[in-house]
Amino acid sequence: MDVSWASGIGDPCLKGELSVTIYDAILKFAVSDPSLLWRAAARRLSEGGLGLDDVNATIGHADDPLIEECLTALILPLSIEGSELIDYEVQPDVETTAIVGAEEILSALNS
């Protein structure tokens, strides 16, 4: 999708028209170790200056991590030269979660 901004809309430093192309990039993560994911996110947030209380408030506690928030902490802020992040969404893939859960149950029943 091409989007054009006329002068005076958006960034006031832009002169004339600017044509940009918007792309969707889809990432999917299979989270097999939530506590390891939490540690990676906590490390990233700590490096950004957050203390343990703020880390826990942001991504949950190590024993009960908020998976979507952990992934967000690791993915964002995303800075790629020549581009601007417009939107993002992190949510569980309910269908895949159900399938993985069903496979584990079937595997346990068959052993």
3-57, pLDDT tens digit by residue? 443 434 455 455 566 788 888 888 888 999 999 999 999 999 999 899 999 999 9
Beta strand 18-21 with 2-5 is antiparallel
Q: What global pTM score does this model have? A: 0.64
Neighbours of 48 (CB within 10 A): 11
Instruction: Determine the pLDDT at residue 85.
Output: 81
Contact (Cβ atoms closer than 8 angstroms) between residue 22 and residue 3: yes
Q: What is the pLDDT of residues 52-109, one digit of tens each?
A: 999 999 999 999 999 999 999 998 876 778 888 888 888 887 666 655 565 665 666 6
Query: Distance (Å, rounded) from C-alpha 24 to C-alpha 15?
Result: 27
